[in-house]
Amino acid sequence: MKDHRIPDEDEEQLRRNSIKLNESNEQQIIIHLYIRINDANDNPPRFFMSTNMIQYDSFNRSQQQLLNRPFIIYIREGDTNGFEGLPIASDADSELNGIVMYQLIEYTNNGDPVKEPRLNITMTYDHIHSINPKLILLRSLDYENIDDREIYATFYAIDGGDSSLTGSLSIIIRLLDMNDNPPIIMKQSTKPEQYITLPENTTLDNKPFYIVNATDADSGENSRLIYSFSPLANSLIPMKFHIDSINGAIRIREPLDYEVYSQRQFLLPIIVKDSGSPPLSCTTSISIQIKDINDNIPTLMIQKNMTIPEGQLFTKPIIRFYIKDEDEVSHGKVSYSDHSD
């Protein structure tokens, strides 16, 4: 007895053997046995990685390793799209018991699920019915919010068996800081300008008389600040003053002279710029008043004198003079006396 029906592909693959039965009359009966194995859902989904750490080839496991360490994703601050490819899991069971969905659960640093998730996933299907999960943002992330800088989540792959099995992967989302915060100058008073009085004729032993203090909420190069005088500053300012580009300390470069009218007061326009790309900046102004000190000797200025004959009594003034003192602080305070015998 023979079965001339052509078995289907599955049967061919599952054919185990042919059995011959011999009867007493030497006739042979050949029975073909075809064994079909019903798949049991005994393999959980597993995450593997390839060289690009994003996707793997389920038919080329020789080049893969089991992904047993956290999968790290970098996202730029302010990115509202946030579509990032996620690893795809593999399931050794049949398609019926294969992966049917993915799930992402976000956790706090203490391991508790967050109440207001910032992340979710979307799933697309390709032409071979494979599920491609992608990470999406539910809101924009802000690097200045410390909780947004590093987000912990667990990514689950769930199969379609009667008793579903799952595979999990730890995910860490790290936020890259963008230069979205300009420097902020910490002013020492509520006035728009800072007022400082300095004595003339001194450099204060090269000690700073004022330090511009600024902060930047960004990180790295985006928060590295550079201090300078504005290009619009009076040309005399960089000659007389110096500002440290790193710490904002301002010093007197050379002594100031109150008696030179152009040096009695200065307005220092200052720019604080970060090192981001493009850089952001802020400005402030410092008003400096130079204080006069008594550093000039009074001068006797003759206005008029007369020649008188010897021995003659003369009642009119014979000389007219005045006292000149360059120091403003001495005005109206000059006295004189006659030291003749």
Residue percentage of the chain with pLDDT more than 70: 73
User: Which of 75-84, 204-213, 331-340 shows the lowest mean pLDDT across its residues?
Assistant: 331-340
Residues 211-238: b if buried by 16+ CB within 10 A, e if exposed: ebebebebbeebbebebbbeeebeeebe
What is the pLDDT at residue 300? 66
Question: Which residue intervals of the chain are DSSP H helices?
Answer: 9-14, 237-240
The answer to whether 174 and 180 have CB atoms below 8 angstroms apart is: no
The secondary structure of residue 139, as a DSSP letter, is S
Structural domains in the chain, sorted by start:
1-37 (no CATH), 46-176 (2.60.40.60), 184-291 (2.60.40.60), 299-330 (no CATH)
Mean pLDDT for all residues in the chain = 79
What is the pLDDT at residue 328? 65
What 3-state DSSP class applies to 225?
A: strand
Distance separating alpha carbons of residues 139 and 78, to the nearest angstrom: 9
Question: pLDDT tens-digit profile of 276-323?
Answer: 989 999 999 999 999 887 766 677 676 666 677 777 776 777 677 666
User: Which distant-in-sequence residues (6+ apart) come within 8 Å of 252 by Cβ?
Assistant: 198, 202, 203, 204, 206, 209, 240, 241, 242
- Assess whether pLDDT exceeds 80 at residue 69: no
Distance separating alpha carbons of residues 62 and 51, to the nearest angstrom: 12
Global pTM value: 0.63
What is the pLDDT at residue 49? 60
